[in-house]
Amino acid sequence: MLNSETANVRLTMAGVVRGVKSLGPISLFVIPFGIAFGAAAIERGVTPDQSIVMSLTVFSAAAQFAALDFWNGPLPAISLLLTVLAVGTRHILMGATLAPWLNRLSRPKRLLALSVLSDANFADSYDAFRRDERDVGRLVGGGLALCICWIIGSTIGVIAGASLGNLGRFGIDVVMVSFFAAIAVGQWEGLSDVLPSVVAAAVAVLGLIFLPPGWNIVLAALAGGIAGVLWHER
């Protein structure tokens, strides 16, 4: 018997279009980050072809920027692999959270949705799923919009990024933070969310000091989730 929250899950072109419309405006602000990556990659000795292929196949700003730190001389493959794995482990949590919906799809459709999974379309789609959306096309459409803009930005950065100077002066880096803050506020359900939020925030901040990049987010999500379960079961 299907769970009422996940019954009739599907992936349609109409859903993809809704996802593009939902995240299209936000996706435009990914382009400057892509430009910054492309310019930084060339500066670190990555070839233009390698830079663009990396954006096409990896599609992870955090992991790609982390990889640049190792791009000197012979690549330390094990260290590079472990760092990228640490940065990407948050996708395990996102995938597990979306599992009740994605597991209703066929494997090819599920893999398509996961191939473009990122923080922004996860937040947008999960919020929509909780509001009774049943079309995983929203996740795919949002991810495609983000991915295309990331590739466009990376390509521009490879070609002309160095001549554009410091993009941070435009304040573009505030946009994604504001987006996630708005999503978090929209999902607020009252005082019962205070303890998990405080625990997750504390672990994330402390993790920046004591943990390698990426692990603080994973542990913060786990700590917040555990705190929430314990609070609701007390």
Confidence of residue 13 (pLDDT cuts 50, 70, 90): very high
Which residues, in sequence order, are CB contacts of 113 under 8 Å at separation 6+?
11, 102, 105, 136, 139, 140, 143
Contact 137, 11 (CB under 8 A): yes
pLDDT tens for each residue of 195-232: 777 888 888 888 888 877 667 767 887 787 788 767 76
Q: Identify the pLDDT of residue 1.
A: 36
DSSP letter for each residue of the chain: ---TTTTT-B--HHHHHHHHHHHHHHHHTHHHHHHHHHHHHHHTT--HHHHHHHHHHT--HHHHHHHHTT-SSS--HHHHHHHHHHHHTHHHHHHHHHHHHHTTS-HHHHHHHHHT--HHHHHHHHHHHHTT--BTHHHHHHHHHHHHHHHHHHHHHHHHGGGG--GGGGTTHHHHHHHHHHHHHHT--SGGGHHHHHHHHHHHHHHHHHS-TTHHHHHHHHHHHHHHHHHHH-
For residue 41, name the pLDDT band (cuts at 50, 70, 90).
confident
pLDDT at residue 39 tops 90: no
Q: Is the dihedral of CA 7, 13, 16, 20 positive or negative?
A: negative
What percent of the chain has a predicted confidence (pLDDT) above 70? Answer: 78
For range 123-150, the mean pLDDT:
92
Between 26 and 4, the higher pLDDT residue: 26
Q: Is the pLDDT of residue 46 over 60?
A: yes
What pLDDT is stored for residue 197 in this prediction?
A: 79
Higher pLDDT, 214 or 46: 46
Q: Where are the domains of the chain?
A: 3-187, 189-234
Give the least confident one: 39-48, 106-115, 186-195.
186-195
Query: Tell me, what amino acid is at 35?
Result: I
Residue 2 has pLDDT above 50, yes or no: no
Query: Between residues 197 and 122, which one has the greater pLDDT?
Result: 122
pLDDT score of 146 more than 90: yes
If 0-12 CB within 10 Å is exposed, 13-18 middle and 19+ buried, where does residue 218 land? buried
Token code pair at residue 93: 């949590």
Q: What is the pLDDT of residues 153-178, one digit of tens each?
A: 999 989 886 666 666 665 655 655 66
**What are residue 10's DSSP bridge partners?**
135
